[in-house]
Amino acid sequence: MPEGFHTITPHLTVSDAKAAIALYEAALGATNCGVLTYPDGERVAHAMLQIGTSRLFLNDEMPDMGGFAPAGPELGAKFYLYVEDVDAAHSRAVSAGMSEKSAPEDMFWGDRISAVTDPYGQVWTFATHIREVSMEDMTEAMKSFGG
């Protein structure tokens, strides 16, 4: 496995990869590790971003290869991203143009979470682990969870 990678690397197809890269840099603190464009110089064939300790691939739609972006809100992937400070990450993402899905709140499983949706259909849940909770306690708490 190449250095800097984990067993699974998410790969997104979006409607405007260049705009998505700029948004992820501003909203998620992503680092652009490289972009390959098609000969037209406009469409992104492959981009690699670093978010925290993980990599993310993304590209523009490739209809000739069956690669289409999600067509609607929240039809893309869902990510659970551990961060140092949920409130700060949430504020940064919303300020950068992502839509609030849920405000920061402490959850029964021991994480403080919030969620935002990007314009490309992906949902990003920010989490900070605030306390350890046993499976027994989670099972009991789940009984009253409104989910």
CATH of the domain at 108: 3.30.720.110
Note whether residue 65 is domain-resident: no
- Single out the residue of 49, 44, 67, 37 nearest to residue 10, CA to CA: 49
Q: Please answer whether residues 81 and 125 qualify as being in contact, where contact means their C-beta atoms are separated by less than 8 angstroms.
A: yes
In the chain, the number of structural domains is 2
User: For the domain that residue 37 is a member of, what is the CATH number?
Assistant: 3.10.180.10
β-bridge pairing 44-51 and 31-37: antiparallel
Note whether residue 88 is domain-resident: yes
Parent domain of 45: 1-60
Tens-binned pLDDT, residue by residue, of the chain (147 aa)? 888 888 899 999 999 999 999 999 999 999 999 999 999 999 999 999 999 999 999 999 988 888 888 877 778 889 999 999 999 999 999 999 999 999 999 999 999 999 999 999 999 999 999 999 999 999 998 888 776
85 shares its domain with 122: yes
Q: Please answer whether residues 91 and 48 qualify as being in contact, where contact means their C-beta atoms are separated by less than 8 angstroms.
A: no
138 shares its domain with 82: yes
Note whether residue 66 is domain-resident: no
CB neighbourhood size of 37 (10 A): 16
39 shares its domain with 91: no
Domain ends where: 60, 84, 103? 60
